[in-house]
Amino acid sequence: MSAQFSTNEAVSLEKEIGGVQLLDTPEEALGTVYEIDRCIEWIRSHDFKSVCLQFPDHLLSDSTKIAQRLQSALQQTVYVLGDSAYESCCIDYITAAHANADAVIHYGPVCFSQAANEIPFLNIYEKRDLNLPALTQTVRPLTEADPDFSIVVDTEYLTHFDDIRAAFPTVPVRSILEPPASQPRVLILGHNQRKILNYKLSFKPRELRYYDPTTDRLVDYECDPKVLKRRRFLAEKIRDSNTIGIIIGTVAVKNYLTVLDRMKKVIKACGKKYYVISVGKPTVAKLANFAEMDVYVVVSCAMNEIYDSREFYKPIVTPYDVEVALNEAATSHDFTYNYNDYLSDAEIRPKEDADVSLITGALRSSTLEETAEESTEIAVRNDGTVALNTSFGAGFLAQRNWKGLEQNLGQDEVELASEGRRGIAQGYSNEKS
């Protein structure tokens, strides 16, 4: 075989695949880092019989060792959830249900989304080192000068919570998972930029700073103006669209079905079409199969970074963007990635007057032209039966050159199975070398 049409096998064998950097915890530290004794006590005290252990990707290297220790102590089988159906920061109820689990132990980073399911769960947070003298030296002048500041501790540093409270006896100190206090000025102890952004958008403190323990720096936090500017651009894309795909990006966050129904009502009231899509974790390849969609609205956890991705072929928007773009009555909403912050069953008032798109410059009517959505007429063709209405999915599919693999039932002669080629794709046994 000519060299220009083949690749040296060493390329594949030596190729480095980029991915998540796995964490390998020393054997002697497993009991402390993963709080194994606490997990055992929790399972025994509640008499759980089927328990799932949920790990994010970067902790999977420790999962078998943790499972073996728990099984040895409990004398019962535990299950490892190695690939979450959606975001790893939320409890994966779907995968746990496959094992008929009556409880879940979640390891690693968590968000502060409200859970949708009532299945018992235990959070074991990540643990990071904290230089307490450096924290005290950097933060104390700020809290002494302004007594209105409160300290909010991210989950990675909750193991140092008592020490932090002792170092700042006159300052309110609380976990980031607790309901926000009324303090107008907040100092977050943590470095997760996405979580800090969500805190700023959801709770709107008058002043927000964060202390990064990895660099011992105190930073004034300001929202990236590009985040809010992009909302205006996406609002125009939504108004220009005819067909919107509603992607189910979570089943673990409270009210996900309610916001799904709300999106249906808003989109339908504006005369646009929608399709509900459930594909697990949305990827570029999965969503590329739905070329008829103009925009995708993702119902997901606020920590999902899909909203910031530029890799998808069509715009990815939040339920907030759809509500503001299509409902003139939604004037009091402030942007946030957490749909529970603005979800309501308020009035839906579509825009009645025509306007001009700021992106295409085309004239935009308030609603689509009347379609034959309710019509029951069909057209019988050689390649199947499709709806006459070509503005919907069936009509769009009928116009495509390639429609996927076809079964061709009754068109091929039935034959007995015969032996195929032997070997590998690089060189089968019947090919000349």
pLDDT digits (tens, 9 = 90+) for 43-76: 999 999 999 999 988 888 899 999 999 999 999 9
- Could you give the 3-state DSSP secondary structure of residue 41? helix
Indicate if the pLDDT at residue 384 is higher than 70. no
Q: Cα separation of 249 and 347, whole Å?
A: 26
Q: How far is CA 243 from CA 40, 235, 275, 401, in A?
A: 51, 14, 8, 20
Task: Please say whether the beta carbons of 393 and 276 come within 8 A.
Answer: no
User: Is 246-355 a domain of CATH 3.30.413.10?
Assistant: no
pLDDT, averaged across the chain: 83
Residues 344-380 have pLDDT tens digits of 888 888 877 778 888 888 888 765 444 444 445 555 5
Could you tell me the pLDDT band of residue 227, with boundaries at 50, 70 and 90? confident
pLDDT at 17: 44
Are domains 29-125 and 132-220 of this chain identical in fold?
yes
CATH number of 132-220: 3.40.50.11850
Q: Cα separation of 319 and 362, whole Å?
A: 25
> Among 10-14, 127-131, 172-176, 272-276, where is mean pLDDT lowest?
10-14
Q: What percentage of the chain reaches a pLDDT higher than 90?
A: 36
pLDDT at 383: 52
> Among 124-133, 191-200, 214-223, 412-421, where is mean pLDDT lowest?
412-421
Q: Cα separation of 150 and 351, whole Å?
A: 43
Could you tell me the pLDDT band of residue 414, with boundaries at 50, 70 and 90? confident
pLDDT at 420: 83
Neighbours of 107 (CB within 10 A): 25
Place of tokens 């009091």: 332
- Mean pLDDT for 164-173 is 91
- Could you give the 3-state DSSP secondary structure of residue 307? helix
Can you give the residue ranges of every domain in the chain?
A: 29-125, 132-220, 246-355
Indicate if the pLDDT at residue 36 is higher than 90. yes
Task: Please say whether the beta carbons of 306 and 318 come within 8 A.
Answer: no
Specify burial of residue 278 (Cβ count, 10 A radius: 0-12, 13-18, 19+). exposed
The CATH class of 29-125 is alpha beta
